[in-house]
Each structure stands twice: as structure tokens, then as C-alpha cells.
Amino acid sequence: MRMVFWITGFFLLVCLSVFFLHISTNTEEFSRYNMQWNGTSQFFGSRAGMDATEIRQISDLAGRTGSFLLIIAPERPFDDRESREVHDFLTQGNVVFLADETGAGNTLLEGLDSEIRVFPANLTSMERQYGDPSSVLAHPSSPDPLNTGITSLVLNSPSYTKGGTPVFTTSLLTWADDNGNGRIDETEELGRYTILSREYMGEGTLYVLSDPSVFINGMQDAGRENSVFLGRLAGHYGPDLLIEQDHSSTAKADLLVLAIIYMKSSKFMTTVLFILVGTGASLYAWKRYSEVS
């Protein structure tokens, strides 16, 4: 009988652990804590994501060299001070890679005096990966370390960029589907659109990608070369990968999730929680055992 109650206590402990795992996730698009198709948990769970240094405020970029900064899906503008700090970081020989489809990152590009801009759109193409016309394919344009050996990337309703040097572009069978009907209408024109642009600034390099969806879970298996491309972002310029977490949508989480994440990341809090839960489960099993003894 004693064994039955100890098993019951252990079962409660496991259930509580699963519960805490469940509530430490969310469904926010691009969130690193979202395990569904539109989250970025797989990328942040990869070796690249786990080894990266998180930038919680732009001022943390000061003095860094030989670094590659990822800014994924910014959800709010950059102010003048932040733009100046990114400019200093960039011109000192570092790389900045901005992935933005909404145009929120244009405030940073303006502050950098960059000629590149993101134009929000719903690009659609006859050359696509799946039956869905929004699964647009992009191909290498001018030579660049990021597109060497890659034949195409699979995108998900991307926007497009103008300015700079095109690194990846769509085929001529692509258009901005303004009304979202999946067909080209009289007011829509076929053309080649730039998806990834490059610009040299000082000693550094700026990249602007108009589809942050390449980072989401649902796109990881969309094409083998998508994974190759992401791996190249993380490793081509050395181990010093930085991921901005102040403006980026990847950091989105509610207060409860943030509290759970903090507890999971703190060895002390994890130990305390484990002791409390284990003690509670043991007391429950002992109480039940005492009642039937």
C-alpha cells in the first residue's frame, strides 16, 4: 500500500512539471516561446540560438567587434539614439541583419542613412514551392557569402525591399497581390522583386530581408536550403552571434510566461521549486498513507 501512495506522489510531481512546461509557452507570432508553426522556438532551440548572446538594450553593442547582429521582426520603431548606436556598431566592422516585413525597421534604416527600405506587400508568385501561391521562391542574385551554393529560399507571403545590392530576388512571375485573391489582376504587374538587399557601411555590412518568416518553425522544413541559410547566418561570420531582444517580436511573452522562464533559467529558483513540489507530493503521499494505516 505504501508503494501505491509513493507512486501517486511521483505521478503528481510529473503532472505539475508538464503543467509548468505548458504554461511557459505562448502563441504569439515569432515568439521564441511559441512551439507552434508561427513561433521561433526551433531556431532559438538550435545550437546557434542557444549559443547566441542576447542584446536586451542597444547600448550593449558598444565596443563589440567581429559580431553578427540579428534583428528579427521588430515590432516598434528605433529612436535616434538607438540608430546612432547601431550605426557605430555597424561601421566598426560588424554585420547587421534586419528581417522585417512590416516596415517597422525603416526607422532604423533611416537613422543609419541607408538607401534600403522595406515595402510591406503580399508578394505572390507562379513560381512557388507548394500549391499556395504565397510560398514564393527567391533565387541568388549578385554574389554574396550568404547565397553561395544556395539555389532558392522558400518564403511565406514576403514583402520586398528597394535600394542596395540585391542578394536574393524572386522570378519575373511574381506580383504584389493587393486584394489577396491569389490571382494577378489588371492593376497588378508581374516583375522581379528583391527579398534580401546588402549595403556596405564603413567597415561593416548591412543586410535587409523582407521576410522574417524564414525563422519560424513552419518554414524550417519548407526547403533544405532554408536551414542551410539560417545556419550560415549563425556561423559564417564566426561564433559571436548577437540576437536583439528589445524591439524584436521573438521576445514577446506575457508576465506569467516570463516568470516561468526566469524560474527555469535560474538554478536556485529551479532547485527551490523542485524541493517545494517534491515536498508537497511527499507530504500528500504520507498523509494518504497515514489515513489508511
Q: What is the pLDDT of residues 213-265, one digit of tens each?
A: 999 998 887 767 998 898 888 765 456 899 999 999 998 865 444 444 545 55
Residues 67, 133 within the same domain:
yes
| pLDDT tier, 19 (very low <50, low <70, confident <90, very high otherwise) | very low
Q: Are residues 145 and 262 in the same domain?
A: no
Count of structural domains, the chain: 2
Q: 214 or 281: whose pLDDT is higher?
A: 214
The pLDDT mean for the chain works out to 83
Range 88-100 average pLDDT: 96
Domain holding 18, by residue range, is: 2-25+254-292
| Confidence check: pLDDT of 60 > 90 | yes
Among 2-6, 120-124, 206-210, 222-226, the range scoring the smallest mean pLDDT is 2-6
Tell me: do 245 and 288 sit in the same domain: no
**What is the reported pLDDT for 153?**
95
One domain for residues 78 and 198: yes
pLDDT at 150 over 60: yes
Which residues, at least 6 apart from 267, have a Cβ–Cβ distance to it below 8 Å? none
Whether residues 69 and 210 share a domain: the answer is yes
Does residue 180 register a pLDDT over 90? no
Q: Which residue has the higher pLDDT, 223 or 52?
A: 52
Whether residue 33 is contained in a domain is answered as no
> Which runs of consecutive H residues, i.e. helices, occur in 92-178?
106-111
User: Residue length, the chain?
Assistant: 293
65 and 127, same domain (yes or no): yes
pLDDT in tens, 63-83: 999 899 999 999 999 999 999
pLDDT band of 22, cuts 50, 70, 90: very low
- What number is the average pLDDT over the span 106-116? 98
Query: pLDDT grade, residue 51 (50/70/90)?
Result: confident
48-52, 140-144, 185-189, 258-262: least confidently modelled range = 258-262
pLDDT of residue 197: 98
Same-domain status, 184 and 281: no
Confidence at residue 284, expressed as pLDDT on a 0 to 100 scale: 57
CATH number at 246 reads 3.40.50
Same domain? 219 vs 272: no
Structural domain includes residue 132: yes
Res 184: pLDDT: 87
Residue 85 in domain:
yes
Q: How far apart are CA 73 and CA 105, in angstroms?
A: 8
pLDDT at 47: 72
The answer to whether 82 touches 108, Cβ cutoff 8 Å, is yes
The pLDDT of residue 2 is above 90? no
Tell me the C-alpha distance between 165 and 194, whole Å. Answer: 9
Is 35 within the bounds of a domain?
A: no
Least confident of 17-31, 39-53, 210-224: 17-31
Tell whether the model's pLDDT for residue 211 goes beyond 90: yes
Q: How far apart are CA 34 and CA 24, in angstroms?
A: 9
Residues 194 and 87 in one domain: yes
* Lowest mean pLDDT, pick from 40-54, 147-161, 227-241: 227-241
Separation between Cα atoms, residue 73 and residue 100, nearest integer Å: 5
Alpha carbon 169 to chain centroid distance? 21
- Class of residue 284 by CB neighbours under 10 A (exposed 0-12, middle 13-18, buried 19+): middle
Q: Are 69 and 244 in contact (CB under 8 A)?
A: yes
| Residues 215 and 268 grouped into a single domain | no
Residue 32 lies in a domain: no
β-bridge partners, 40: none
Separation CA 47–CA 51 (nearest Å): 6
